[in-house]
Chains A and B, each alone.
Chain A
Amino acid sequence: MSPARTNEQWLADLSSTGEAREDALAELRRVILEGLPYALSNWLSPGDPAFGPFMEEVAQETLLRVLDRLESFEGRSRFTTWVHKIAVRLALTELRRKRWREVSLDKLVAGAPGEGFAGILASPDVSPDMRSEQADMLDRIERIVEEELTEKQRAALVAARVRGMPIEEVARRMGTNRNALYKLLHDARLRLRQRLASEGLTPEDVLAAFERR
């Protein structure tokens, strides 16, 4: 087996033409395929019939993207690490898309009829004497969420942070991108925290109301 390529050798070969480039692409494909099973061990096992074809698809997409972005590689990590990163992002994006394909945002975000944000979070299994304390706290949270957040922020928060929808999936349904959605959620968090503080409620106070049963 040939010795491992340095970053410079990878870049030189992939930027060239002919055999050097073809050899490098073949080697890089091998590197990607070797790493993906480890990366995706929580999602797919090698025994799954979809495993092989999916890996190939990801490897091909990754090679295209690597070639397209070759100039953006800054050399601050190993080239293969940078490539694995791109492969992981491509693979997980696709796996998440498939898993959540059938899920509608509206249905995910809606609670039971008449149920607000707090209702979505309320726990059924609470003793009667604790119920009113929790109900009060939930009402306060409900009011804070409604007064501080936009409808979009509320929906994004419920979908992403309560229901666990990947933010890319939420973003796509809202006609935006992952980066923008993260900023939207960050703003929401800042507003909620600030408002809690101005009401004299620490996060610990809120948690404490729900810790006891």
Chain B
Amino acid sequence: MDERRKALSNLIEQLRRTRQDEIACDEAFQFLDRFAEAIAAGKDTARLMPLVQQHLDMCPDCREEFEALLRVLEAHLS
């Protein structure tokens, strides 16, 4: 897909999923360790921590940090 059409598509998708109440990056970061552990444990995070999930859906930077943290947890290090 052409890069610019993809950008528009992503933007529109973000608009579609935008909610009135969203938490910002600082608050999401505060919950990120708990959230990542819950995901790694297979818990229903969409139900348990919906605001964090929503933020990660809207924020590529926080999502990238979350995915990095999850990789560490799933490596099952000592």
* Residues of chain A whose beta carbon lies under 8 Å from any beta carbon of chain B: 1, 4, 31, 34-36, 38-42, 76-78, 81-82, 84-85, 88-89, 92, 96, 120-125, 157, 161-162, 164, 166-168, 178-180, 182-183, 186, 189-190, 192-193, 196, 203-204, 206-207, 210
Contacts and interface: CB of A to CB of B under 8 A. Distances in A.
Interface of B: 2, 4-5, 7-16, 18, 20, 22, 24-26, 29, 32-34, 36-37, 58-61, 64-65, 68-69, 71-73, 75, 77-78
Nearest to B15: A193
Nearest to A204: B16
Nearest to A122: B4
Contact of A4 (B26, B61, B78): B78
Contacts of A40: 68
A125 B33 contact: no
Contacts of B69: 39, 81, 84-85, 88
B71 A38 contact: yes
Residue of B11, B16, B29 with highest tally of chain A CB at under 10 A: B11
Chain A interface, >50% SS class: helix
Contact of B73 (A81, A164, A166, A196): A81
A168 B72 contact: no
A180 B15 CA distance: 19
A140 B77 CA distance: 53
A5 B69 CA distance: 20
A65 to B, nearest CB: 13
Contact of A192 (B9, B15, B33, B72): B15
B71 A196 contact: no
A85 B32 contact: yes
Contacts of B29: 85, 89
B8 A77 contact: no
A42 B67 CA distance: 10
Given A40-B68, A81-B33, A193-B15, A161 B10 contact: yes
Contacts of A41: 71
A174 B31 CA distance: 27
B72 A84 contact: yes
A179 B34 CA distance: 20
